Amino acid sequence: MKEQKRINVGIIGQGRSGRNIHGAHLLGDERYRIAAVAEGIEDRRKRAVEEYGCEAYATHGEMLARGGLDLVVNATFSHTHPDISIECLNAGFNVVCEKPMAATLKDADRMIDAARKSGKILAMFQQSRFSPAFQEILRVLQSGVLGRIVQISMASNGFGRRWDWQTLQSRNGGNLMNTGPHSLDQALQLFGDGEPEVRCFMDRANTSGDAEDYVKLILSGPGKPVIDIEISSCCAYPSFGYNIQGTRGGLKGTPERLEWKYFKQEEAPPMKFVDPVSHPDGTPAYCGEKLIWHTGTWAFDAAAAGGGSAYQASAVDLMAARSKPKASSDMYASMAESFYSMLYDTLTTGAPLAITTEQVRRQMAVFEKCRAQAPHIYKKA
């Protein structure tokens, strides 16, 4: 039996993303080995050495100079994603870059151009594309049972005050570019080809910084469903999930559970215009009928997600036993598992990326339009 190639990885950054997401997954994934980290905070470097058994460097430049890496994970501050990713690509490394890819089309294009010229892989960590709930939604919509889709609503709402770097425009913080890439990646897949018309409303409610923490984003286009995205930090009655309206039914739910109902056209009585509508006794009436509803449900199954996610289960066991960083939940772990399985195939067999940089680039066009519509927040937009 041919021995499986192991990918040597260097992680830049040991914050919540670099450690709790990428490190948490890669530690137990037998296809990858964390060989090095770069982190400016000494305590985090020491912890990385203890947890991963890797080398640790104060700067990413030092880490790149060591060589021997097949892949670099760029989990740095959002505003540094373009320049550091380009530096890694130019140095001859394949790169996974955290979201957001960039703030502008110009920076996104610089990254895409660097990947093309270097011949290296640039993979954007848009793991929500692999959300089990989203994949189920795609299956339901593609089946056609809901009819033509009229509106798709997506919410990531809660109530919270925040005071970290994700509240600062100077670091590309704010709900639009922090949480927005997850919702927007799914939304653009549902929208399909073409550039959407964008209407965006943003506000600052509870944040300590100068970036927005309330976003209402509406995408529309000829022959397309209206897509309503809401990301709010001032929603005292939280909602998190989907509500889809179609001509023959609808779907609602969360990343953990979905339900949908629909009627079959052949089972519905014909509609014939009547004026006026009356009861049999001639008194005024309102249109009414009893449709035969068909229903479906789906619930997240941790064991089934990501093909059983044996690697991630191993990672969780290892971390629990050795007090290592842990992924936040089985659902998020399954998305990381699916992403890194896809990437492994790309790195070892040349399989195409399921999430391309050109697809992610579309988000930057939406970002620019959103900021231009919020001069009260983004004064230079």
**pLDDT tens-digit profile of 12-53?**
999 999 999 999 999 999 999 999 999 999 999 999 999 999
Angle between helices 81-90 and 105-118 (to 10 degrees): 10
**Res. 317: pLDDT tops 70:** no
Q: Which domains does the chain have, with CATH numbers?
A: 7-128+304-354 (3.40.50.720), 132-254+257-299 (3.30.360.10)
The residue-averaged pLDDT of 128-157 equals 97
Residue pLDDT, tens place only, 103-126: 999 999 999 999 999 999 999 999
The residues, ordered by sequence, that sit 6+ positions from 303 with a Cβ below 8 Å of its Cβ are: none
Q: What is the pLDDT of residue 8?
A: 98
Across the beta sheet with 240-246, the strand order is 197-203, 214-220, 226-232, 149-157, 240-246, 249-253, 257-262, 294-299
What's the pTM value of the predicted model, to 2 decimals? Answer: 0.90
Helix (H, G, I), strand (E, B) or coil at 162: strand
Confidence (pLDDT) at 289:
87
The pLDDT confidence band at residue 305, using thresholds 50, 70 and 90, is low
Residue type for position 124: M
* pLDDT the model gives residue 381: 52
Comparing 83-87, 210-214, 288-292, which segment has the lowest mean pLDDT? 288-292
Q: In the structure, what pLDDT confidence band is assigned to residue 324 with cuts at 50, 70 and 90?
A: very low
Q: What is the DSSP letter of 2?
A: P
Q: Give whole-number Cα distances, 321 to 325, 326, 349, 380, in Å.
A: 11, 11, 34, 50
Contact 121, 95 (CB under 8 A): yes
Q: Which residues contact 360 (CB under 8 A, 6 or more apart)?
A: 99, 101, 108, 124, 126, 181, 185
Residue 41 DSSP code: S
To the nearest whole percent, how much of the chain has pLDDT over 70?
A: 92
Section 231-258 average pLDDT:
96
pLDDT given at position 165: 84
Residue 73 near residue 96, CB atoms below 8 Å: yes
pLDDT beyond 70 at 315:
no
**Least confident piece of the model among 66-70, 154-158, 216-220, 306-310:** 306-310
Asked whether the predicted pLDDT for residue 160 surpasses 60, the reply is yes
Strand extents, DSSP E, the chain: 7-12, 32-38, 55-57, 71-74, 94-97, 122-124, 149-157, 197-203, 214-220, 226-232, 240-246, 249-253, 257-262, 294-299
Mean pLDDT of 91-102: 98
- What is the C-alpha R_g of the chain? 23
Q: Which helix (H) or strand (E) holds 175?
A: helix 175-178
* Range 248-258 average pLDDT: 96
Nearest to 92 by CA among 112, 66, 64: 64
216-230, 234-248, 254-268, 301-315: least confident range = 301-315
The dihedrals phi and psi of 124, each to the nearest 5 degrees, come to -90, 130
| Beta-ladder partners of 261 | 250, 295
The pLDDT assigned to 312 comes to 35
| Conformation bin of residue 41: beta by default, left when phi > 0, alpha when psi is -120 to 50 | beta
Q: What confidence category does residue 325 fall into, taking pLDDT thresholds of 50, 70 and 90?
A: very low
* Residue 366 to residue 105: CA distance in whole angstroms: 9
Cα 15 to Cα 367: distance, rounded to the nearest angstrom: 25
pLDDT tier for residue 308 given thresholds of 50, 70 and 90: very low
